[in-house]
Amino acid sequence: MKRLLAIVDAGDAGVTGVLAGEALRRAARDAGRSIEIELRTAQGVVNPVSAGRDDMLLFVGTEGSADAATRERADRLLTLEAVLADPAAALDVGDKPGTSTKKVVAITSCPTGIAHTFMAAEGLQEGARQLGYDIHVETQGSVGAGNPLTPEQIAEADVVIIAADREVDRARFAGKRVLASNTKPAITGGAALIEKALAEAKVQGGATTAASTPEATERAGPYKHLMTGVSFMLPFVVAGGLLIALAFALGGIHANDEANAGTLAYALFTIGAKGGFALMVPALAGYIAYSVADRPGIAPGMIGGMLASSLGAGFLGGIVAGFIAGYGVDALNRVIRLPKNLQGLKPVLILPLLGTLLTGLLMIYAVGTPVAAVLSFLTEWLRGMQGSNAVLLGLILGGMMAFDMGGPVNKAAYAFSVGLVASQVYTPMAATMAAGMTPPLAIALATRLFGNRFTADEREAGAAAAVLGLAFISEGAIPFAARDPLRVIPSLMAGSAVAGAISMVAGVELRVPHGGVFVLPIPGAVTHLAAYVVALAAGVVVSAVLVGLLKRSVAQV
């Protein structure tokens, strides 16, 4: 039998580390095995161990606390909490004869379907490799499902992991053990998330009708429902915005005047404004409702969104309508009980009808007018922002974009700016995109100006970060920020805040909510292009210099 070794990296939680070590020791003794345990705390290392090629090595701690060599060598990565919860399971390292390899399937997805989707997939794949498990990951990105899971793979899986920042359809996993999470745990600790799934996943209930039963799934929160709506709204915003920009490029600022009817520019504007933009709010509301109540929520939500647009309540009204429709249909689904032979009527007739009636009446008689007044006030206030007010909003949006680079705070600023595009307020969108491009571009510049602050691998990764930054993918800076968050994140926030503030003060307007520098050359997509380039350059330089000044050289770390 192989020699069993464990490294317990407790950091400042020394007492917890000692308890985890003793729990492993007792579990090994009960199993008739011997174990050597190295304890790492803030005070030093106790009983250091050296693992040979044939030894089984467990690493207990956060994945980020292990150096690359230890992560590569470890046969299993565990958290302190997992060891204390079930030390016997922690020792099950799979070296017994006849033990079958665990099989895992997963879905990863984020609101924009770009960076976090694929970073989460890579994290899970690396975690499965470390654990010696088989894994198949379906990425639900911006262009559909990549590497879709087959029914055979799902049937053979021991557990299903859904690492998504928006709601995904779980109907095909009925009867399987499912664990739902956001993308961050998959990115930062794929192995730990897989272990958690194997230990804590719950059986998914059937989903043949409206929504799953209360005990079937963990219920997502309002933030995830909102991000689901935003993710489905984005294609309408992008298509509509680009078509309107092209219309202005071909026909001038008056391309939409009736005098130009029949021209290509007028047709493009009609498609973009009366087609793409007209469907933005209904799509937002419909898919918020879908996230809450599944398919029966789509019709009430979209109809509520159309009413919000007609009442002048805009994207704020769409958000309200989506939640009214979603939670209303969900409540009706729980309250209404029908004979078994009539259950099929609920999702296609009863719930959409009653949900639409509830949402429509509330929007017309209770919600629409007050929300329209709030949106009108917000729109006029933003349009009239000058001087210090514009600076303040730019600073706030910029700082939010760099705070967690793709996390909830970043997405909140982004969703706010995208929503205002529907109200023809384009300055926050410009500030947000400039601020979102700044972190990875600044990191790329810092790796060139201050090479001694970065390892050889980091300097090489700087080029990739630059490409991601140009494409408005803030997540390109995450690996650098994760290694030194207390110095890097404030530096990036400062530069992004500067970029956002300059953009707002210059009155830059951006009609397209994604694409980075690649959409800037399109005529009409952005106003005051020179000022926008200055804002972006200033933010990048500020962040790069601060990173260089605050980070210590690699030799000092």
- Which residue numbers are catalytic? 110
Strand partners of residue 164: 109
CB 469, CB 444: distance < 8 Å: yes
Instruction: List Cβ neighbours of 212 (8 Å cut-off, separation of 6 or more).
Output: 170, 204, 205, 206, 294
β-strands 177-181, 44-46 pairing: unpaired
Q: In 10 A of CB 192, how many CB atoms?
A: 22
Give helix 427-449 / helix 408-421 axis angle, nearest 10°: 140
Q: Which of 507, 528, 510 is nearest to 519 (CA)?
A: 510
CB 73, CB 128: distance < 8 Å: no
Give the whole-angstrom CA distance, residue 57 versus residue 72. 11
Residue recorded with tokens 């008739």: 32
Element (H, E) at 146: strand 144-146
Instruction: List Cβ neighbours of 152 (8 Å cut-off, separation of 6 or more).
Output: none
Give the whole-angstrom CA distance, residue 104 versus residue 111. 24
Structure tokens at 353: 């009808």
- Where b means 16+ CB within 10 Å and e means fewer, 501-510 reads bbbbbbebbb
Give the whole-angstrom CA distance, residue 113 versus residue 249. 29
CB 137, CB 107: distance < 8 Å: yes
The CA–CA distances, whole Å, from 63 to 23, 101, 186 equal 20, 22, 11
Under DSSP, is residue 58 helix (H, G, I), strand (E, B) or coil?
Answer: strand
Length of the chain as a residue count: 557
Residue recorded with tokens 């150096």: 67
Q: In 10 A of CB 135, how many CB atoms?
A: 22
Q: Which of 454, 426, 453, 419 is nearest to 524 (CA)?
A: 426
Strands (E), 165-262: 177-181, 202-203
Give the whole-angstrom CA distance, residue 16 versus residue 30. 21
CB 358, CB 366: distance < 8 Å: no
